[in-house]
């Protein structure tokens, strides 16, 4: 007789399909499940991005539980495998049922699986508002304290169970151990051949990345930028018909009208805060226009502004 949830016992799977799943494959399946839940939740919240902020916050645990319940309905309940396990050709097998054939988990265990996974997550997220927000003298608050103690014991038991999983390779979670379910391969796992060209390309890019990680911190990017600016800036200013007087009308760093103008000894002027922040960040600071080192003291510069220039800067364009 076919089991509930759409699963049927397979005819006679090969020995490799019922072999024990590697530890790394089981952990990869958990990572894929978490990534899928996060993706579904992010797509769901984007539907409400134009609504009032915080609209979903009061019912967020319930909505997450509902989405996880939908995923459980179309994965574990239908195929006896989570979404991550399906991608890795893995299914849950009821190890309490002896026999050479593959036996999917029963409907009762599937319901317990949903209760112990989805219900546990919902209760931990909702416990603060359900119990801890009540008065300290109430029985509900005491029940919340008892739940906190039970949660602590469960976390300790989960840690011990995970250490046992690392040693034996079976039952990575307490839910699987308590229900007696174990993942197995449903298809024969052939050899995993790696193309030589792919391996060579990966090694080449890995070596190049390590070389850049070692080399880039040794390059003085600010010094290089200042040198390039020194090479091209005079040519640009000469083509535009600039003169030395124009150097005092803009900051050599930000290009705006200099605020509290200061100089480092060259023909250019800087905003005080631009110059101070760059000299603190770079000990060997040089002028980005001419390349002069800021070895001397920073001195203020007195600018004389003609009234015609001030009037032109205040009159809007197109007005006489």
Considering only residues 313 and 158, tell me which one the structure prediction assigns the higher pLDDT.
158
The CA distance from 172 to 163, in Å, is 9
Structural element, H or E, at residue 90: strand 90-94
pLDDT band at 32 (very low <50, low <70, confident <90, very high): very high
pLDDT, one tens digit per residue, over 225-284 is: 766 766 665 544 444 444 444 456 788 888 788 888 888 877 788 888 888 888 787 777
User: What's the rounded mean pLDDT across residues 18-28?
Assistant: 83
Kindly state the tokens that stand for 221.
């990017």
The per-residue pLDDT for 161 is 93
Indicate if the pLDDT at residue 108 is higher than 50.
Answer: yes
The CA distance from 220 to 28, in Å, is 42
User: What's the rounded mean pLDDT across residues 86-91?
Assistant: 88
Q: Which of 10-24, 108-122, 263-277 has the highest mean pLDDT?
A: 108-122
DSSP annotation string for 269-314:
BB-HHHHHHHHHH-TT-B-TTT--B--S--EE------HHHHHHHH
Let me know: does 115 contact 123? Beta carbons within 8 Å: no
User: What's the rounded mean pLDDT across residues 304-315?
Assistant: 49
User: What's the rounded mean pLDDT across residues 17-45?
Assistant: 87
Give this prediction's pTM.
0.54
Kindly state the tokens that stand for 27.
């952990």
């Amino acid at each position: 007789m076919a089991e509930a949830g759409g699963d049927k016992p397979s005819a006679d799977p090969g020995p490799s399909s019922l072999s024990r799943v590697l530890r790394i494959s089981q952990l990869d399946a958990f990572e894929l499940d978490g990534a899928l839940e996060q993706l579904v939740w992010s797509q769901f919240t984007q539907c409400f991005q134009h609504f009032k902020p915080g609209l979903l916050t009061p019912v967020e645990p319930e909505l997450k539980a509902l989405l996880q319940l939908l995923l459980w309905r179309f994965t574990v309940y239908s195929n006896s495998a989570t979404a991550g396990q399906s991608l890795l050709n893995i299914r849950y097998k009821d190890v309490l049922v002896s026999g050479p054939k593959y036996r999917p988990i029963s409907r009762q265990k599937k319901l317990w699986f949903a209760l112990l996974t989805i219900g546990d997550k919902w209760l931990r997220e909702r416990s603060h508002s359900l119990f801890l927000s009540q008065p300290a003298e109430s029985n509900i608050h005491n029940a919340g304290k008892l739940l906190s103690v039970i949660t602590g014991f469960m976390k300790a038991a989960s840690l011990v169970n995970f250490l046992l999983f690392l040693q034996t390779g079976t039952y990575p979670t307490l839910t699987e151990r308590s229900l007696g379910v174990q993942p197995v391969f449903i298809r024969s796992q052939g050899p995993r051949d790696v193309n030589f060209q792919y391996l060579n390309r990966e090694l080449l890019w890995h070596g190049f990345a390590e070389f850049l990680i070692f080399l880039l911190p040794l390059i003085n990017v600010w010094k290089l930028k200042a040198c390039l600016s020194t090479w091209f800036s005079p040519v640009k200013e000469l083509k535009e018909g600039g003169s030395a007087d124009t150097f005092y009308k803009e900051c050599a760093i930000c290009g705006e009208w200099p605020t509290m103008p200061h100089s480092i000894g060259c023909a250019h002027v800087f905003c005080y805060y631009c110059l101070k922040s760059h000299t603190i960040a770079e000990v060997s600071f040089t002028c980005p226009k001419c390349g002069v080192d800021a070895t001397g003291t920073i001195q203020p510069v007195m600018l004389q502004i003609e009234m015609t220039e001030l009037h032109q800067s205040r009159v809007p364009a197109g007005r006489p």
